[in-house]
A and B are shown apart, each in its own frame.
Chain A
Amino acid sequence: MWDILTSIVPLAIAYTAPLLIIAMGGLFSERSGVVNIGLEGLMGVGAFAAAYTMLTAAPSMGPSSVYLGLLAAALAGGVFSLLHAFASVTMRSDQVVSGTAINILSAAITVFLARSLTGSANVQIAGLIKDNVPVLSKIPVIGPLLFGNAYSSTYIVLLIVVVSWYVLYYRPFGLRLRACGENPQAADSLGINVQRMRYIGVAISGIYAGLGGGIVIATYSWEFSPLVYSGLGFLALAALIFGKWNPWGVLGASLFFGLAKTVADMSKLFESLNNLPNIFFNTFPYIVTLIALVLFSKNAAGPKAAGEPYDPGKR
């Protein structure tokens, strides 16, 4: 039993980390008032940027090329997201359509570049190595579970989550950002630059989602290929909704989904679970989200002004 736990929990955490950071990105974007369906595409761009950077930097930089790759991932996601910001905020186009365009563009452009630059659609790299965190992993019980066989990127993610929560709820920037998502007219009348806030919200979502994609490449999949991460961005969207647009809710939801995916993967290895048809595990997060939406349908509304372009002319 213990063995099962020590294999499952760290893996669940590894699956959760990218999901969590992507969902947090979605949180910032939606809280500022911009619906971002394009998380999937932003993550893909980050994944590719990370893989390519790691590939080209590894010969000269060795293992630390991974961190450079993560940085490149975040940057790529951030820059790519400006397209969505431009379309949604400046051009006031339909945010869902724009997000979908980002997804299509990302899927195509990453494979296109992969083919052009490396000759094949799959890019393989050497990523982060799992290791035990010194000292902390020696703590009885929780040590091996939470700090054993862990990736350094997981802690980066957790740090980002905590800082994000603090900024969102305790700093003026966070208050103003949330105001833009609830009542942009009110924010505007108090001198807050709604357009700028929304650009920042979307950019953060791009940075976080890109980083998430990079983490996927660097941790549990040492290869860039579209099939690896497909669907993660949408799953993050589900986690965001399930977590009710709140950092801690999103943390819980992401963990929940990460665990589900882990159990699905591990079910092949464990007799008791092996007999359950794979359909249960694979569809579990999505069905659960639908059920949650129905149960919480009264409060299922996100930020009040999310999804509507802000028109200063209509003050």
Chain B
Amino acid sequence: MSKNKLLIPLLAVLLGFVSGAIVMLITGHNPIEAYSALLKGAGFYGNIKRLGDTLLNTTTLILTGLSIAFAFRTGLFNIGVPGQMLMGGFIAVLIGAKLSYPAAIHVPLAVIGATVGGACWAFVPGILKARFRIHEVVSGIMMNYIAMWSVYYFVPVLIPGNFNTESRPIIQTASLRTEWLSAIFKGSYVNSGLFIALFCVVLVWWILEKTTFGYELKSVGFNIHASKYAGMKVNRNMILSLMIAGALAGLAGATFYIGYADNIKIGMLPSHGFDGIAVALLGLNNPFGVLLAALLFGFMNAGRLFMQSATNVPNELVPIIIAIIIFFAATSLMLQTWLQRVEKLVKRNGDK
């Protein structure tokens, strides 16, 4: 049975790439060339800098994936990740641009600010769900746009930059980039956010598997009625769970806006939020699965621009493949049933 469970993500990925190949063939491109350019752009042919870029992309995706996976395990769909990531990132940039401290203080301060910012932003859908039973998807979507327009307003007011579509840059003492890391990866923007992300993978696993808190969260996610009957404080757990998910998303914001970037651009929601959904699904909501899935999407995102310039295949092919993968992963229930039927058929024929 668990063999089948692992098969689903692999199948979904395979089908995604096959579909991508079909799309390319239809539009007159060569899939093999394109995929190999994708790999090259991601550093798999030995380019250390590009490999660093893969890890860079992976970093943010691990965190958004963890955020969504964690919330899913507790029965909640945290579609508010983009907004939480944006708010977290905004707070980090604010701290990074407006305050001045030595790096040993500045960086942790900004990171903590991002974490708290994300958690607070997720508090709203949490309490709306707990008190008023409002679906977290609806409130999450609303909060996404409130976040986007809030940042749109506050950046020009508080930390205006050279263009009116972005903020001014952070002081370098706040950046997550470090000299030795950038040196190893020959100039890639990969940063200590990577270590934060990896730490979070282990942390999430530990919380879910080893603590009574994780036990309660899973219980609420599986069966809210039995959890109430067992005396668990269901509402409090829901809120806490979303806040933790929000904190992870806020961290993602830090890794992006003060790790990869130096400032924040206004008027858009970061796409890593929605990509996180794909990562969580593919990773079967398991922290280590999320790590692997993030790696996959990380390399795809790292290589896409190179692919476009090398083969003229539009780089939007990558989100297309990602969406198709989500599609197949989402229909996994049926795939599972089909696989079971195939198994039975094989067995029956084997017995004859």
Q: Interface of A with B (CB < 8 Å)?
A: 37, 83, 87, 90-94, 96-98, 100-105, 107-109, 111-113, 115-116, 227, 230-231, 234-235, 237-238, 241, 277-279, 282-283, 286-287, 289-290, 293-294, 297, 300
Contact = CB atoms under 8 A, between A and B. Distances in A.
13 contacts: A83-B327, A97-B326, A100-B274, A104-B274, A104-B319, A108-B316, A111-B316, A113-B27, A231-B145, A234-B141, A237-B138, A278-B153, A300-B132
B33 to A, nearest CB: 16
A89 to B, nearest CB: 11
B257 interface: no
B331 interface: yes
A96 B132 contact: no
B145 A234 contact: yes
Nearest to B314: A115
A282 B281 CA distance: 32
A21 to B, nearest CB: 20
A293 B316 contact: no
Given A98-B327, A286-B145, A112 B320 contact: yes
B320 A109 contact: yes
B97 interface: no
Given A100-B277, A293-B132, A283 B323 contact: no
A282 B151 CA distance: 11
Given A279-B150, A294-B128, A115 B327 contact: no
A93 to B, nearest CB: 4
A241 B141 CA distance: 12
B134 A300 contact: yes
Given A93-B332, A111-B314, A100 B149 contact: no
A98 B330 contact: yes
A37 B137 contact: yes
The 8 closest A-B pairs by CB, nearest first: A105-B323, A108-B319, A282-B149, A279-B153, A112-B316, A91-B331, A297-B132, A104-B323
A97 B153 contact: no
B333 A92 contact: yes
B146 interface: yes
Nearest to A84: B327
B15 interface: no
Q: Which of B27, B318, B327 has the most CB of A within 10 A?
A: B327
**B interface, by DSSP: helix, strand, loop or mixed?**
helix
B333 A116 contact: no
A277 B334 CA distance: 50
Contacts of A293: 128, 132, 134, 138-139
A100 B79 contact: yes
B77 to A, nearest CB: 6
Interface in B222-259: none
Contacts of B132: 293-294, 297, 300
Contact of A238 (B124, B142, B318, B331): B142
Nearest to B141: A234
Given A93-B330, A97-B326, A287-B142, 18 more contacts: A83-B327, A90-B334, A91-B334, A101-B330, A102-B323, A105-B319, A105-B323, A108-B323, A111-B316, A227-B267, A237-B141, A241-B138, A278-B153, A279-B150, A286-B142, A286-B146, A294-B132, A294-B134
Contacts of B128: 290, 293-294
A103 B153 contact: no
B337 to A, nearest CB: 9
A2 to B, nearest CB: 31
Interface in B69-112: 77, 79
B200 interface: no
Nearest to A103: B274
B317 interface: yes
Nearest to A94: B330
A102 B320 CA distance: 10
Nearest to B149: A282
Contacts of A287: 142, 146
A278 B152 CA distance: 9
A140 to B, nearest CB: 39
Contacts of B145: 231, 234-235, 283, 286
B322 interface: yes
Nearest to A107: B319
B133 interface: yes
A283 B319 contact: no
A283 B148 CA distance: 9
Contacts of A83: 327
A159 B294 CA distance: 47
A282 B317 contact: no
B291 interface: no
Nearest to B308: A115
A104 B326 contact: yes
A105 B139 contact: no
A234 B128 CA distance: 19
A287 B139 CA distance: 10
